[in-house]
Amino acid sequence: MKSELIKQKAHEIGFDLVGITQAETHPHFSFFKNWMDHKLYGTMDWLVRGAERRSDPQKILPGAKSFICVGLNYYHGWPLSIENVEAGKGWVSNYAWGDDYHDVMLAKLKNLEAFILNHHPEAKLKSYVDTGPILERSYAESAGLGWVGKNTLLINQKNGSFFFLGEMLTDLELEYDEPAADHCGKCTRCLDACPTNALKAYELDANKCISYLTIEHRGEIDPKLQSKMGHHIYGCDICQDVCPWNRQIPVSREESFKPRPENFHPSLSSLKNLSQEEFSHRFKNSPIKRTKWEGLLRNIQINKNTEAGRKTGPNPP
């Protein structure tokens, strides 16, 4: 089966980006291992547990030869986080304004699987959307979807960085694309803009990252970091908002990612008294459920405390 047919079908299904690369141990694994050795992953211990499988695609799908990497744009052109600081409201990262991308992306990948199996019934296929033990940005970079920028996100020259990644591992031997070149140049806007200094060029310290703290981290957040979280109650878009490659990018065609009005810059008063049941109902089929009810209420309280601090100023000696 020709790779071009797979790419054509992927675009028909709705993916904005598609590329193919070889299923072999990625050179970036040594960087990933060093990153873990320095405990920059916060409390995301599942990264450590799955580290060995990430080292070799054969541990995931024996006989694997190719990665089919896809990208799906979620940008909707609404105001940026750095343009919205209205009192009494909290910022939700724009990737979570619509439906859960895991479900949307995986359904499209299953559609692509069916197309491939129709031509090659004997083919082995395994698809993931942000859930498998795969260095997905690294393989996507090798497949030509973009380059891993200084903010550690994948950046595409035409589509910026506001897109989700998915991948399909297969035992089919396909034609491989050229890796993407790095176009960050001397720019350091993402590094300079990060409120918590979580970034240094091409490396993220998750322990300081607002996205990690508001979504993945469980329990109390370091008070020194709380004061720098601003109006963020779920995720953070700052390092993308300031990136020059995101200035003129296309709006997503995916209806599922259209913003739910209640998820865009929501009023804190509408959220602070949510019960567990109300949380589950309001954020059904939404990525926001990832932070869990306790996490969202914690983030809202931090937001309120930070806002109160801005109004009153520092405590007198």
Catalytic (active-site) positions: 130
- 228 burial type by CB count under 10 A (0-12 exposed, 13-18 middle, 19+ buried): middle
- The answer to whether residues 136 and 113 touch, using CB atoms and an 8 Å cutoff, is no
- The answer to whether residues 30 and 177 touch, using CB atoms and an 8 Å cutoff, is no
